[in-house]
Amino acid sequence: MARLFVHHKVDDYLKWRRIYDQYDQVRREFGMTGDSVFHTASDPNEIVIITEWPNADKARAYAQ
């Protein structure tokens, strides 16, 4: 299993989250097997996403 970590700041977490959720099927078509989304208590617009993949090649293909 491979994990892809993304850390960035968004303008509006709730708006971003709606769009992120809409693309779940696309991520799964690339092979994603799971994901977690976190944001900091002090700034909900600072997020960390961890996605799980069967292997690094699938994670790399999605990231590109």
pLDDT at 55: 96
Amino acid in position 12: D
Q: Which residues contact 54 (CB under 8 A, 6 or more apart)?
A: 1, 2, 31, 33
Its domain, for residue 30, covers 2-63
Contact 17, 37 (CB under 8 A): yes
Token digits for 63? 């990231």
- Our count of domains for the chain comes to 1
Q: Which residues contact 6 (CB under 8 A, 6 or more apart)?
A: 47, 48, 49, 50, 51
Per-residue pLDDT tens digits of the chain, which is 64 residues long: 999 999 999 999 999 999 999 999 999 999 999 999 999 889 999 999 999 999 999 999 999 9
CATH for 58: 3.30.70.100
pLDDT at 17: 96
